[in-house]
A and B are shown apart, each in its own frame.
Chain A
Amino acid sequence: MAGILDFAPAIVLLPFLSFLIALGAGRYMPKGGALAGIGATAGSFVLSIATFFAVSGGQTYNQTIYTWAEGLDAINLTFGLLIDPLSSMMLVIVTLVALLVHIFSLGYMNDEGETGLPRYYAGLGLFTASMLGFVVADNLLMAFMFFELVGLCSYLLIGFHFRQDGPPSAAKKAFLVTRFGDYFFLIGVVAVFATFGSAAFAGPDAFPVLAEEALAGEHSVNTFLGMGEQAWFTVVGLLVLGGVVGKSAQFPLHTWLPDAMEGPTPVSALIHAATMVAAGVYLVARMYGFYVLTPTTLAIIALIGGFTALFAATMGVVKKEIKQVLAYSTISQYGYMMLGLGAGGYVAATFHLMTHAFFKALLFLGAGSVIIAMHHNENMWDMGGLKDKMPVTYYAFLSGSLALAGIVPFAGFWSKDEVLYETLIHGLGGSPILLAAYAMGLLAVFFTGFYTFRMVFLTFHGEPRSGTARDPHGVRWNVKGPLAVLGVLAATTGLVNMVPVEKLFGIEGIDFLHQFLDGSFSSLNAHHYAELIPYSSGYIGGEAGTVAIGAAVSLGFALGGAALAHVLYNVPEPVEHTDKLGSIKTVLYNNYYQDEYQVWIATGVVQPISRVLDKFDQGIVDGVVNGISSVSLFAGGRVKRVQTGVVSNYAALLTLGLTALLLGLGLLGGWFA
């Protein structure tokens, strides 16, 4: 029976088609191929919605659709589709954001008279297609391949304005830093194949299941380098995590992301909200069944997440440019997701992934709108007072900001609170690492509230601080429309999973997301993961009490941050209060010198090494080769002088040689006796 899920491949193929159309025929089409992209993503979106409801109804889909490499006497490498609640949810998010970004691009790119639009829309189409392919991948290899394609697209789109100096450099950095992470990921993929003989996420030979059975002693797998199973699984998990850290811009591979702001703003929205950065966290969620088996890996994920959340939030406090603030907030928010996953809060992290996609897309598109209005000046200190000039943008942006800061009842509050709550109870259950991570996450809430509202107040409130801010460029429906849609979503998506309300007031059945993610494959549902979590839970004053305390504390911190921003910056003529931080500000402004040391590794360590090796190669290795030839040439040059060309000399040599020969033979043969 041809169910709606049989059309799932079309979700991926439609944007790919739009890529081909835009690339091949974009220059002959109106709007530079934008309409093809909009049509394709709209089609994908509709199909995704249908898929989503089909999955809600209990349908699932897990099929191999293409054998990439057939092994004779070896395993096959295949492509397949895995549609379960997690991927169907992600499909909806990605297609929706992609669709809105395409529409927004009409305003941001076409209306602004950019050149190279076919290239732009081709890139967007391929980007969307790659991400969708990654989302539906049914095995780790396919996931890796689309993961890399996502990286390629980010390179192409970040470097869109290739005639300037900055974007190509930023694109290179983005690709290179994520490549560094992917290096570990690729080893991980290979290791999974070598260990389990399969890299499927679900099905009878799913590797998380095989790992679980191996740890239970029911099944034996190959381990390498003389390690035990637990240790080897930890190593493999950490290797794959390398790719996650790179793509999701976690410490220490986060440095590419702020630079990636060189790309056009709609691209930033796509990268940050739905595609590239989300890919890392999504991967951890996808193979969560494997990660829950190794407590060490989970703890490391949680620590990285918590630390990144705090670390990035502090840097966001001092930035001048609106997109920079948002970039650091992205790093910070993905830190929360990692924290949630590491702390065993699978649903919480997924929830945050979803809400974040909406409010971050909203914030970027809002920033894009502001940037259009400001004639591509991104400095917040040149803005101010835009609230009255562009109300739609303002209210949408405000909705997104409230969600980002985690103010009840906007989306971000519910998801962030649940992440922190899961961390807290599992930390209280006897895991000091998680408690430390919780503390960092909580502190980051304060900074988040502060930088978010600093941004809002500087941009929209107070008096205009420049000529352009007094008379901003208007924006059209194609900018306002996506903002409105996302504004509503940012305000409301939190309501799908109001766990605190459920716990506090005992209303059963409003944790829709929990129920949704509990469906489908038994080895892939949230319930199964919860059983495998290596943490125990602890409470302060019972479950409801802990919920209340956690929510109150995080909300309090968020409001505190927002209030501080209000005091400092919601004035007609704000001043740079961060100057009072003195040298701390310099450190923060320079991102803790993270870029410097990474650039130093590249240019101060690797390049000199390569130059020394080049000298070595030219001087010693090639020198030996040339030396052998020089010695031969020199020796030949000397020996050839025997050949004087004078016949008499040759004759003399012959005579002497004959005489010597006769003497020698005679002496040996006794002729002279």
Chain B
Amino acid sequence: MIIEALIAVTFLAALVTFVVPNRYAGKAAFALSLAPVVGSLYMWQQYDASGNALLGGNIAFETDVAWLQLGQYDIHWMVGVDGISMPLVVLTTILTTLAIVSAWTPISERQSQFFGLMLLMEANLLGVFTALDFFVWFIFWEAVLLPMYFLIGVWGGPRRKYAAIKFFVYTNIASLVMFIGFISLVFGLGDSISSFRLPEIAQALQAGQLGSFAGLSAGALASVAFIAMFFGFAVKVPVAPLHTWLPDAHVEAPTPVSVMLAGVLLKMGTYALLRFNFTMLPETARAFALPIALLAVASVIYGALLALAQQDLKRIVAYSSVSSMGYVILGLIAYTTYGVGGATFQMVAHGLISGLMFMAVGVIYNTTHTRMVSDMSGIADRMPVTAGIFVAGAFGYMGLPLMAGFAAEFFIFKGAFESTVMEAMPLFTGAAMFGIVIVAGYLLFAMQRTLFGPFRFDGDYDITEAPFHDVAPLAVLLLLTIVLGVSPDIFFTMIQDAVNPILELGGAF
């Protein structure tokens, strides 16, 4: 029941925040958001699952109640966590709280609505990461979009309407395609399943129950469903060339929303890819290894090169997210412990580090009211603490050892290199790894121009050190990044435990 309590408390927190007066909304939202943090940490401490939730593993905090009946299918309220979702739940709660604190400075109107929407989004995200019934999962999945749409569309920058609509329409079309793909699988399974519960569907697929549907043989149906679902999730991830909504959304969104977007929302895509495509249809995934690996490498290199050409600090980080997410795809297709486990670890690591980077950019923006690299230089002179954390975060992004990003990237590289899905995986891995050079290039260039050198600022604002509550979330994130980098086993053990059953399906052993 603790998951229900977690989600319900977060919903209630959102409702309460909606009616709190604007001037107290930020503080209230922060206080209320501590409840899910405590709850998720308690869950983590009590966590006792083993194996993969979809493949007959032991699920932690499971609830399974028949809810509705839809034709021959039952809809269950089924929630629970395993080693893949547990870290993401913790990431979601912590990052939301920090994002709320980082919103105190930049959000100056309609605060109660803003913070209420943030909490509402958190509740839905928790639902996405814990739901184990397709119907319930899909409701949460779609419900995440709504708060995000308003958060970008109401509190965003000058082109916020364009960005919000683009985000909403793009991801919604993707959801539709994904939905068609998944439902065709369900129909292909015919009478062998009696509900939309993901474990049941995954196990039926694993048992070879997939029949033909709509004139497609079982194999062709699996391929079509795989491609449809991959497209749907790839938009969310995003994988090049389906990424163009992301920079616009990031640039227009206010900083805390960018933090949530990059930190958690993108992980929905990779999480779903892992849960659906790579767990349910492993043979199909291996058959498509070449195009998927190509897309992964393309995302990494293309995203990184694009980041190099940007002038807006937020756009730089946004494009580098595309690059980092490419690593996740590479790790997933590897079908090795370190590959898939590293990809899952990267979801958490990138959540922390990209959150850190966006927040750091936001803190600078709060003071300078510009994010253009060319508008400033030598900011470190006036904002030494912020600049120091910015540098540390940037090095984390570049994959500095003993920070979470390196652990994740190394796991992925190691896993991808020794992968058996393709003869040429070492070449793809080597190509993707070149991303670590480009990422260093653009971040170092950006830092050199903005933070260092003689102080210069083309604007009318006084540049002084940011207030404590702006810097504190950065410091917390930095600390978490280092802790995870020094001791990745905090999450990596449970991740591997949940990931290994998938690999057995994928024929890695």
Contact = CB atoms under 8 A, between A and B. Distances in A.
* Chains A and B directly touch (beta carbon < 8 Å): yes
A193 B411 CA distance: 11
Interface in A573-611: 602, 606-607, 609-611
A617 B454 contact: no
Given A163-B453, A163-B454, A193-B418, A168 B448 contact: yes
B461 interface: no
Contact of B305 (A172, A183, A610): A610
Contacts of B308: 606-607, 610
A621 interface: yes
Interface string B239-270: 01101110000000000000000000000000
A186 interface: yes
B423 interface: yes
Contacts of A70: 489, 492-493
Interface in B76-118: none
Contact of A162 (B306, B380, B429, B487): B380
Contacts of B448: 168-169, 171-172
Contacts of A65: none
B509 A73 contact: yes
B207 interface: no
Contacts of A606: 305, 308, 438, 441
Interface in B217-252: 240-241, 243-245
A471 interface: no
B400 A190 contact: no
Contacts of A159: 452
A146 B166 contact: no
Contacts of A176: 437, 440-441, 444
A73 B336 CA distance: 10
Contacts of B305: 606, 609-610, 613
B411 A69 contact: yes
Interface in B168-186: 169-170
B414 interface: yes
B418 A168 contact: no
A214 interface: no
Nearest to A197: B418
A69 B492 contact: yes
Given A74-B337, A180-B437, A67 B489 contact: yes
Interface stretch (B53-61, B190-198, B401-409): B401-409
A183 B429 CA distance: 12
A614 B306 contact: yes
A71 B406 contact: no
A512 interface: no
A163 B509 contact: no
Contacts of A152: 395, 400
B440 A613 contact: no
Contacts of B500: 72-73
A18 B413 CA distance: 34
B424 interface: yes
A52 interface: no
Interface string B375-405: 0001011000000000100010010111000
Interface string A56-93: 00000000000111111110000000000000000000
A634 interface: no
A71 B488 CA distance: 11
Given A67-B489, A71-B496, A190-B414, A183 B437 contact: yes
Interface stretch (A221-229, A540-548, A664-672): A221-229
A194 B411 contact: no
Contact of B402 (A145, A621, A629): A145
Contact of A225 (B380, B427, B436, B486): B427
Contacts of B429: 187, 190
A149 B493 contact: no
Contacts of A607: 308-309
Given A610-B309, A617-B244, A187 B433 contact: yes
B434 interface: yes
B42 interface: no
B454 A165 contact: yes
B437 A193 contact: no
Interface in B443-469: 444-445, 447-448, 451-455
Interface residues of A, number: 54
Contacts of B407: 68-69
Interface in A118-144: 141, 144
Interface in A143-181: 144-146, 148-149, 152, 156, 159, 162-165, 167-169, 171-172, 175-176, 179-180
A72 B401 contact: no
Contact of A148 (B336, B337, B401): B401
Interface in A327-382: none
Nearest to B496: A72
B21 interface: no
B430 interface: yes
A625 B437 contact: no
B426 interface: yes
Nearest to A179: B440
B452 A602 contact: no
B310 interface: yes
A191 interface: yes
B338 interface: yes
Contacts of B336: 74
Contact of B426 (A68, A69, A144, A224): A224
A263 to B, nearest CB: 13
Given A148-B401, A606-B441, A186 B436 contact: yes
Contacts of A68: 407, 486-489
A112 interface: no
A67 B310 CA distance: 40
A69 B409 CA distance: 13
A71 B337 contact: yes
Nearest to B402: A145
A168 B309 CA distance: 20
B158 to A, nearest CB: 17
A622 interface: yes
A69 B488 contact: yes
A295 B391 CA distance: 42
B433 A74 contact: no
A24 to B, nearest CB: 12
B497 interface: yes
Contacts of A175: 440, 444
Contact of B455 (A163, A610, A625, A629): A163
Contacts of B327: none
A67 B492 CA distance: 12
A629 B445 CA distance: 35
B140 interface: no
Contact of B337 (A73, A145, A224): A73
Among A164, A167, A169, A190, the most chain B Cβ lie within 10 Å of the Cβ of A190
Contacts of B18: none
Interface string A290-306: 00000000000000000
Contact of A629 (B166, B489, B497): B166
Contacts of A186: 410, 413, 433, 436
B137 interface: no
B452 A168 contact: yes
A17 to B, nearest CB: 15
Interface of A: 67-74, 141, 144-146, 148-149, 152, 156, 159, 162-165, 167-169, 171-172, 175-176, 179-180, 183, 186-187, 190-191, 193-194, 222, 224-226, 602, 606-607, 609-611, 613-614, 617, 621-622, 625, 629
Given A73-B337, A190-B413, A606-B441, 12 more contacts: A68-B488, A71-B338, A73-B500, A74-B336, A74-B496, A168-B451, A187-B429, A190-B433, A225-B424, A613-B305, A613-B306, A617-B306
25 contacts: A69-B407, A69-B488, A72-B493, A73-B496, A141-B410, A145-B401, A145-B406, A163-B452, A168-B447, A168-B452, A176-B437, A176-B441, A176-B444, A179-B436, A186-B410, A186-B413, A194-B417, A602-B441, A607-B308, A611-B309, A613-B306, A617-B302, A621-B244, A622-B244, A629-B169
